[in-house]
Amino acid sequence: MGWLRTVGQGAVRGLRAFLKLMVIVAPVYTFVTILKYTPVLEGFARLMAPLMRIFRLPGEAAMALILGNFINIYASLGAITALKITGAQLTVLSLMILISHSQILETAVFFQIRAKWWLLWLIRLVLSFIAGIGLSALIVPAGTYRTTAADFAELRQVFVLLPAVKSWGLGLLNTGVKMVLVLLGIFILLELARRYGVLDRILRGLRRVIGFMGYSEDAGMPWLAGNVFGIVFGAGLIVESVQESRLTPKQVTLVATFLAICHGLFEDTAIFLVLGANFFYIVVPRIVLAVIVTWVLSRVLKDKPALTSGSKVV
């Protein structure tokens, strides 16, 4: 039966994604947990507390932002799971990281497809800060996190081997089980959607929205692929389209702009949901911001002819 094979392929992809994720999450989680038994995390929290207060977050939450932006989204997850923050604060932090993460790798991808990488880097960083300030003012009660001596004292935990190892193991196991179940479900559904042409039907249904943002017909599938599967997969389709002279430089930048702000809507979002983030606040603002910024750029940027079929994408 074909559908069983499709489910199996989805499950394999889900397990691969989980293993790839845990290779990063587990070491970072362990590293941050160890830091909690040293003066390092307390010192870092004291240093970053004034800045993070803008987002109504504790100082140590800056570690998740830094790891997310410089390494990748999974490194930030390892830091988040080892920290103590409220659900509302987790949602704010999740939104900021989802908008701006993996800046080095993904900026390299944007450079590869000849998008305006410097503009996209700046847009993501600025929007991340604006979204963090706005959402925290909306859902995090004022004074929820005022750094006090008692707060810093919580970071200085007394190291007792067995309880510490037990807490580390149970925390990592709990996170891992949630992630593997969610990823299996997501990749099985995506594999079924791909097999039965659901993505093509969705694309046809979104034709008006795509046109509103200034996309050509050929830009639709790379845009949808990036939203569903992430920037790297979407970029692969963009490169292919550029090589076949179907996308102009403006279209490439427009697709990359939306994906820079909002991509991987299933996998990336689900990972933060299992940690306790609010679905509405980590999805809707990203989509709205991506639509607005893409629409503005579609009116501002000037178009140029598409690359010839012999042109090289570097």
Residue 43 — pLDDT band, cuts 50, 70, 90?
A: confident
Question: Does the pLDDT at position 131 exceed 90?
Answer: yes
pLDDT value, residue 144: 65
Q: Domain count of the chain?
A: 1
* In a domain? residue 11: yes
* In a domain? residue 67: yes
More confident residue, 100 or 309: 100
**What span, in angstroms and rounded, lies between the C-alpha atoms of 248 and 151?**
53
* Total Cβ atoms within 10 A of residue 291: 16
Q: Model's pTM, two decimal places?
A: 0.73
Q: What is the DSSP string of 144-172?
A: S----HHHHHHHS----HHHHHHHHHHHH
* In a domain? residue 305: no
By residue range, what is the domain housing residue 38?
2-300
* In a domain? residue 307: no
Tokens of 242: 């550029």
* In a domain? residue 279: yes
* In a domain? residue 309: no
Question: Does the pLDDT at position 254 exceed 80?
Answer: yes
* In a domain? residue 62: yes
More confident residue, 206 or 134: 134
Question: Does the pLDDT at position 154 exceed 60?
Answer: no
Q: Are 206 and 193 in contact (CB under 8 A)?
A: no
pLDDT value, residue 281: 95
